[in-house]
Amino acid sequence: MIVGQKFFQHLQLLVIVLFLSWRATFEHSTGTEVGIKCLEKEREALLKFKDELIDEHGRLSSWGSEKYKKDCCKWRGVTCDNQTNHIVELDLCDMALRGNVSISLLEIQHLEYLDLSYNHFEYSKIPQFIGSLGRLQHLYLDGSNFSGEIPHHLGNLSELNSLGLSSFHGSLTSTSLDWLSRLNSLNYLYMRSVNLTMATDWLQTITKLTKLQRLELYSCNLSMVLTPSPFNASNSLSDFRLSGNEFSSSWIFPLVFNLSSSLSYLDLRSNKLQGEIPLSLRNMTSLTGLDLSNNQFTGEEPHLALPSSLSYLYLSDNMFTGTVTQCIGSLSKLEDVDISSNNFEDVITESLFFNLSHLGMLDLSYNQGISFNISSGWNPHFQLTDVFLSRCKVGPHFPIWLRTQKRLEYLDISNAEISDTFPDWFPKSSPKLWALNVSHNNFHGVLPDLSSNFSRFEFTDLSFNHFNGSLPILPPNGSVVDLSSNEFSGSITNLCNETSCYWHFLDLSNNLLSGQLPDCFANLPNLQYLNLAHNNFSGKIPSLNTVSYTRGQENPNSN
C-alpha cells in the first residue's frame, strides 16, 4: 500500500516536473505566448525592416505590432522552421516595395531564402551586409533597381545555391567576378544586364564553379577573353544562356564544346556569330534547346550541324538558305521551331511534317520563298498552339487543316496571298485562340460571328482585306481590334457592348461606315488609339476623354 502511495506521489511529481519543463521549452521557443511560434527578436527585426520600406499597396499589412498580429510566422512572405521556429524564408518578390533594405535583416541569422526581386530600391547599392547572412542558400535581387558595383561580400555566402542579380535597366556592374569563385555550391546564376565590360575574369571564374548547372549572362557586354589555362572541362553546366553579348563564332563555339559535353540548352541569340554553324555541334547529343537567332549565320545546310535531340530550335533573323524540309524535317523531337526572317525556300507539303509529331509552335514567317501545297483532306498528327506564316504563300484558300487544331492560341497568316471567304467554322474550331492576324490578304465576303466562346481573345487584325457587310460581332475582351482598310459598311451606333471596355486600340479607318458616331467612346477607360478616318460618318464628334491618339477629323463627310 505504502509502496503504491509513494509510487503515486512520485508519478504526480513527475507529471508536474514534465509539465513545467514542457512549458519552459515551449515558452522559450515561442516568445511567451502559447500558440505563437515567432521569436520576439526576429519579429522586432522584421518590424524595423518594414519601417524602412515604403509599402504603398499595403502588401505587408499582415506585418504589425498589434497583439493579433504577433505571430510573425504567419506574416505574408515569412516562413519559419517548424522545429526551431526561426525565420528561414523571406519571400517579398514583386510587392511594389520601395525604400531601403534595413540592416536589421542581420538579426534573422537563420535565413536560408531571401527574395527581394521586382521591387524598387531606387538605385541604391546592394547592401554589403547581405554577405553576412551566412546560411543563405537562395538569394534573388533581380529587377529591383539596385545599382552600382555588386558588393564582393556576396562571395562570403558559401552555402549559396541560387543567385539572381539580373538588373534589366543595366544599372548593376561588376568589374571583376573573382568574388563569385568562392561560391562553391552555386547551381544557378542569373546576371542579366549586369555590366561586365571590365570583368575580363568572368570565364576564369565560371570554370571554377564546378557545380554550376544554369548560367544566364544576357546582355552583359561580354566579349572574347583569354581562355584560362589549365582549363577544367569537368563542368556540370547544362543550361548556358549568353544572348546579347559580343561573341564571335570562332571563339565561342570551341569554348562551349570544351566547357561542357552535357549541355541541354544553349542560347547565343543576338551575338556577332557568322558563317556556318560548326558541324561539331551535332555531336552535342544532349542538346534539347538551341537559340541562335539574330546573328549573321549563313549556309544552305544547317541541318548538318543540328543534333537530332533538339526540341526547341530558334534560328530566326539570320541568312540561312536551303529548304525548310531539309533543315527541320528529320528533327523528330521538335516542339518549338522558329526559322523566321531567313532566306529559306520550299514548297511545303504534308511530307515535311511526317516526322514532326510533337510540333507545338511553328514560325516560318518572313522567308521570301516559302509556299504551301497541302491537300484539303490533311489531318496532321500534331496539335499546334502558335502558327506564324506571315509572308509565306499559304493561299489561295484558307488553310483547311487548321480546323483540326483545337489548341491553337495564336494564328498569324497575314500577307499570305489568301483570296477566299472566311470559313464560318473558324475560329470556333480553336476555342483557345487569343490572337488572330489575317491582315494583308484578299479575304472577301461577310465575316462570321467572332464573338462566341472565347475567353480571352485579345488581338484581332483583319485589316487590308475586302471584307464587307456590317461590322462583325467582335470577339469579347479584345484589346486590339484593327478592321481598317476593308469594305465594311453600315452604322456603328451599336458598336459598344459590355466587353468594349477592354479596347485599347480600335482602328475602323478606310471603310464605308456611315451614320452617327456613338457616344460610348468617352466611357471606354482603356481606349488609347481610335482611328475612324476615311468613312462616311456624319453628325457630331462625341467627346473622347481618355483617347490619347485620334484620327478622323480629316474625314470630308464629317461636320
Ligand X SMILES: *[C@@H]1O[C@H](CO)[C@@H](O)[C@H](O)[C@H]1NC(C)=O
The nearest distance, CB 490 to ligand X, in angstroms, is 10
According to the binding rule CB under 6 A, does residue 258 interact with ligand X? yes
According to the binding rule CB under 6 A, does residue 231 interact with ligand X? yes
Among 65, 84, 158, 280, binds ligand X (CB under 6 A): 280
Applying CB under 6 A, the span of 64-72, 106-114, 252-260, 503-511 interacting with ligand X comes to 252-260
Among 48, 59, 125, 153, binds ligand X (CB under 6 A): 153
x/- mask, ligand X, residues 349-368, rule CB under 6 A, reads: --xx-xx-------------
- Burial class from Cβ neighbours inside 10 Å (0-12, 13-18, 19+) for residue 554 reads exposed
Residue with smaller CB distance to ligand X, 225 or 407: 225
* Residue 158 to residue 155: CA distance in whole angstroms: 7
According to the binding rule CB under 6 A, does residue 143 interact with ligand X? yes
The nearest distance, CB 548 to ligand X, in angstroms, is 19
Do the Cβ atoms of 191 and 214 come closer than 8 Å? Answer: no
According to the binding rule CB under 6 A, does residue 446 interact with ligand X? no
Do the Cβ atoms of 76 and 63 come closer than 8 Å? Answer: yes
The nearest distance, CB 207 to ligand X, in angstroms, is 8
Do the Cβ atoms of 51 and 102 come closer than 8 Å? Answer: yes
Could you write out the DSSP letters of every residue in 521-540?
A: GGG-TT--EEE--SSEE-SP
The nearest distance, CB 111 to ligand X, in angstroms, is 16
According to the binding rule CB under 6 A, does residue 156 interact with ligand X? yes
> 45 Cβ partners below 8 Å, 6+ apart?
104, 105, 106, 107, 108
Applying CB under 6 A, the span of 157-165, 219-227, 378-386, 480-488 interacting with ligand X comes to 219-227
According to the binding rule CB under 6 A, does residue 232 interact with ligand X? yes
Residue with smaller CB distance to ligand X, 407 or 490: 490
* Residue 293 to residue 313: CA distance in whole angstroms: 9
Angle subtended at Cα 534 by Cα 532 and Cα 539, rounded to the nearest 5 degrees? 65
Q: What are phi and psi of 163, to 5 degrees?
A: -135, 120
According to the binding rule CB under 6 A, does residue 302 interact with ligand X? no
According to the binding rule CB under 6 A, does residue 234 interact with ligand X? yes
According to the binding rule CB under 6 A, does residue 56 interact with ligand X? no
Residue with smaller CB distance to ligand X, 19 or 123: 123
The separation between CA 365 and the C-alpha centre of its own chain, rounded to angstroms, equals 22
83 to each of 24, 41, 137, 301, how far by Cα in Å? 16, 17, 19, 61
Give the bridge partners for 514, in sequence order.
491, 536
Do the Cβ atoms of 525 and 544 come closer than 8 Å? Answer: no
Applying CB under 6 A, the span of 229-237, 269-277, 310-318, 417-425 interacting with ligand X comes to 229-237
C-alpha cell at 478: 479584345
Among 65, 158, 210, 546, binds ligand X (CB under 6 A): 210
**Sequence-ordered strand ranges (E) for 145-243:** 148-149, 162-164, 172-173, 188-190, 214-216, 239-241
According to the binding rule CB under 6 A, does residue 478 interact with ligand X? no
Applying the rule CB under 6 A, the residues between 281 and 300 that interact with ligand X are 283
Among 48, 74, 135, 152, binds ligand X (CB under 6 A): 152
**354-387: b (≥16 Cβ within 10 Å) or e:** ebbeebbbbbbbbbebbebebeeeeebebebbbb
At position 487, the amino acid (one-letter code) is E
According to the binding rule CB under 6 A, does residue 495 interact with ligand X? yes
The nearest distance, CB 16 to ligand X, in angstroms, is 27
According to the binding rule CB under 6 A, does residue 474 interact with ligand X? yes
According to the binding rule CB under 6 A, does residue 54 interact with ligand X? yes
C-alpha cell at 328: 527541320
The nearest distance, CB 556 to ligand X, in angstroms, is 25
Applying CB under 6 A, the span of 34-42, 194-202, 309-317, 361-369 interacting with ligand X comes to 194-202
According to the binding rule CB under 6 A, does residue 197 interact with ligand X? yes
Do the Cβ atoms of 348 and 378 come closer than 8 Å? Answer: no
Residues that bind ligand X (CB under 6 A): 52, 54, 82-83, 99-100, 118-120, 131-132, 143, 145, 152-153, 155-156, 169-170, 173, 179, 195, 197-198, 210, 221, 223, 227, 230-232, 234, 254-255, 258, 279-280, 283, 325, 329-330, 347, 351-352, 354-355, 373, 471, 473-474, 494-495, 497
